[in-house]
Structure 1
């Protein structure tokens, strides 16, 4: 099995080639096909096994950039993990012809600036800590009613 065997958007295939990823890891082989079919999954694997790409690739693949609304929310237990996952997602969307908006929502950052940004435009993807995401929802600045996909990353830690 190779990444080119999956029905991924051309920009994702290009990102994978740029990262020199050719073959999926075992967790990716199990999870990617299920998420591409729209199934709900629980994935568990060792650190460094490729879990992040196993859910990011198929879920980003389903983002419709023409819809200017939040479509994917990923919660993580820490700011550090949010930083890492946002960087991985940013690598994957780099080659998209149509801009895919990605927003990191974590505590310890300028909330007023983030609220102002969200008031202007809703991102397609939010990656953040549950507390900050909840705060932004409570303030009616993050509109989750349009979300079609949700990931709780490191669920055993939240």
Structure 2
């Protein structure tokens, strides 16, 4: 099993890079993980709703063109299903047993396109709160690491 995180946006602040990198290094012994940063569509100051929709479509095409045929696409979005950390650990165990490669898609500031939502096997919400997409990277990789820690009986997770 491999996990790829496809995310819209590059040039993250140092605190995002540092937070992500810490957990990214920790998870590698448990599961091969890759971060793929895709460019965000250029936005203007006074964009119309039609402009925003266009940006989401451009970013969605970028996400979809980076998915391999053998990968399961999971869209991260506020309206998705919520999982406890233990349920995530069980889900990841299932992926491993099935040899399923997984792509986790994080949209840009305006979310994911309808095409990405439709292509996703399921939708996952990290929180009912709307989170800034740079922060989602950190929360996501930490939760993946925590779930793998549970599966490998590592002391990191203490319920």
TM-score (norm 1): 0.25
Q: Name the structure where strand makes up a greater proportion of residues.
A: 2
Q: Which has the higher contact order (CA 8 A, sep 6+)?
A: 2
